[in-house]
Amino acid sequence: MDLFGHSWAALRAAVAALPDEDFARPSGCAGWLVRDLVCHLIVDAQDVLITLVTPADAEPTRDAVTYWEVSSTPPAGDDPLDALTVRLAAAYEDPSLLKFHLDDVGSAAGRAAGLADPQARVGTRGEVLTAGDYLSAYVLEWTLHHLDLVAHVPGAAQPPGAGLARSRELLEAITGVVFPASLSDRDVLLVGTGRRAPTDAERAALGTAAAKLPFVIG
């Protein structure tokens, strides 16, 4: 629960610190500018708020690991929701409006997470999780998108080390692959999810696991 709040606060702070011109830079999400990614984060924050106030009586069907679906096919960029995100981001025009909306909704999502009972059951995407597992799953979401945010923004603050370490643990549990210790947590997340190609040395260290890349998490 604390790591959710820490990772989310760090990501929001990184957005708040961006100069306006950086919103037109590419992000680590293929086909999205930084402004598109920030718009997506607003939607994510709304999803967190909705989920935390959607109680469920049934037994949990997913946990922090099984919440995620894994594919080997990167997004093609033709998903209608992705296209809507780009149009919506452009409609903001002024980056300060995006910053304000993320801070407003994002702060509320952070407060709601801090008040949530970790054992309470919540419903999302047709599944049931404990609030604690749901928020733990989102540590991976925040960390990956923090990496996306700063991918082409020199000098921007990187994700917290604890979030990187926990996200690596989640990725390894989700995929069943233990990445070599020679790869840093950050490189495991970038290479493992296809955000960049492995170097020759990394491919050699990965061994047979290299043929399984990328793991597209969604």
pLDDT in tens, the chain (218 residues): 799 999 999 999 999 999 999 999 999 998 899 999 999 999 999 999 999 999 999 999 999 999 999 987 776 666 788 889 999 999 999 999 999 999 999 999 999 999 999 999 999 999 999 999 999 999 999 999 999 999 999 999 999 999 999 999 999 999 999 999 999 999 999 999 999 999 999 999 999 999 999 999 98
Kindly report, residue by residue over 42-58, the tens digit of the pLDDT.
999 999 999 999 999 99
Measured between alpha carbons, how far is residue 94 from residues 33, 98, 164, 194 in Å?
Answer: 14, 7, 31, 31
Q: Can you read off the two tokens belonging to residue 4?
A: 């959710």
| Residues 103-109: contacts with CB under 8 Å, at least 24 apart | 103/12, 103/16, 105/42, 105/45, 105/46, 105/49, 106/8, 106/12, 106/41, 106/42, 106/45, 107/12, 108/45, 108/49, 109/8, 109/45, 109/46, 109/48, 109/49, 109/52
